Amino acid sequence: MDWNSRRITAILANALEEDRATRDATSYACIEPGQRGIGTVIAKQDCILCGVGAIRRILEIFAELDGTIVNYPQVTTHNEIFDGVRLHTRQTIAVVRQNARVLLSCERVILNVLQRLSGIATLTRQFVEAVAGTGVRILDTRKTAPGLRVLDKYAVRCGGGQNHRLDLSDGMLIKNNHIALAGGIISALEHAHRNRRGEQTIEIEVRNLEELEFAIRYGAEAILLDNMKPEQIREAVAKVKDAGRKIPLEASGGINIQNVRAYAETGVDFISVGALTHSPTAVDLSMRIQPA
């Protein structure tokens, strides 16, 4: 099991433990121990699906935590149902056959995971479609829910976006606080070139065209154009071309679904959007459970 798989297992196990799923007072009081149930997970709105594989894994982890469940879940999905697919209202995502108590105890965790991840994937797809034809790629940021980053970033990929950095070890991005503490853009870039490990690209944040010129002159290998207007970004794109260097340009700050197209048409390579993971609206899903 690789690091990501272990991390996802830990996230799902923590979610079940947080909800005290193996101590479900209501279900254990009202439902007979041997009762079997059929749970149908349904989309209540159009959306991009993400997290369908978590349904089985949550039920398996519950069985491991509980220690008394003998029969593992039967999870059925149609061939056209997979992460990244577009769903329509009232479309069935999966049918689960399992002990009824278990279904009831895991229902909220299953829905919480799918609703959040599908919300991220849906929002990401909206941004991707808004810039279609421009060649711009939509990036996420590290503005993720604490503890959920590996899932949040997976959801961005399911929506058609790309991941920026998974964590602080995953690349160099010199931001305004680094610049201030290092003594300026020139000093920060010189330190970065001298001290970097391996072949990680040195990206630096600039907030105006003067800072951009320093970044180009002193060895920036990628540049984040922060909180600039589209007209300023067009000038920045032109300056990089005039410098005769191929430096990837990323726009960020104040970009939303209404103005993202205008930014995409400036000629930048990437647009990063923190809202993909810090402000997604959960997709409306439900699980209907009936006796088997």
Residues 154-190: tens digit of each pLDDT: 999 999 999 999 999 999 999 999 999 999 999 999 9
70: pLDDT strictly greater than 80: no
CB atoms within 10 A of CB 168: 9
Report, as an integer, the average pLDDT of 101-125: 98
- In this prediction, residue 162 carries a pLDDT of 98
Q: CB under 8 Å to 92, separation ≥6 — which residues?
A: 40, 41, 42, 43, 78, 81
CB atoms within 10 A of CB 5: 11
- In this prediction, residue 73 carries a pLDDT of 82
Give the model confidence (pLDDT) of 22-64 as tens digits. 999 999 999 999 999 999 999 999 999 999 999 999 999 999 9
Query: How far apart, in whole angstroms, are the C-alpha atoms of residue 142 and residue 130?
Result: 22
All CATH 3.20.20.70 domain ranges of the chain, comma separated, are 128-278
Percent of all residues in the chain with a pLDDT value above 90, rounded to a whole number: 92
Report, as an integer, the average pLDDT of 1-21: 93
Is residue 156 within 8 Å of residue 277, measured between CB atoms? yes
Q: CB under 8 Å to 119, separation ≥6 — which residues?
A: 47, 155, 280, 281, 282, 283
* Topology classification of domain 128-278: TIM Barrel (3.20.20)
pLDDT bucket at 4, cuts 50 / 70 / 90: confident
Percent of all residues in the chain with a pLDDT value above 70, rounded to a whole number: 99
Domain at 3-122+281-291, CATH from 3.90.1200.10, 3.90.1170.20, 3.20.20.450, 3.20.20.60: 3.90.1170.20
Q: Of residues 234 and 3, which shows the higher confidence score?
A: 234
Q: If DSSP codes are grouped into helix, strand and coil, which group holds residue 98?
A: strand
CB atoms within 10 A of CB 133: 9
Supply the mean pLDDT for the chain. 96
All CATH 3.90.1170.20 domain ranges of the chain, comma separated, are 3-122+281-291
68: pLDDT strictly greater than 90: no
Report, as an integer, the average pLDDT of 109-123: 98
- In this prediction, residue 1 carries a pLDDT of 63
72: pLDDT strictly greater than 80: no
Q: Which residues form the catalytic set?
A: 108, 143, 175, 205, 226
149: pLDDT strictly greater than 70: yes
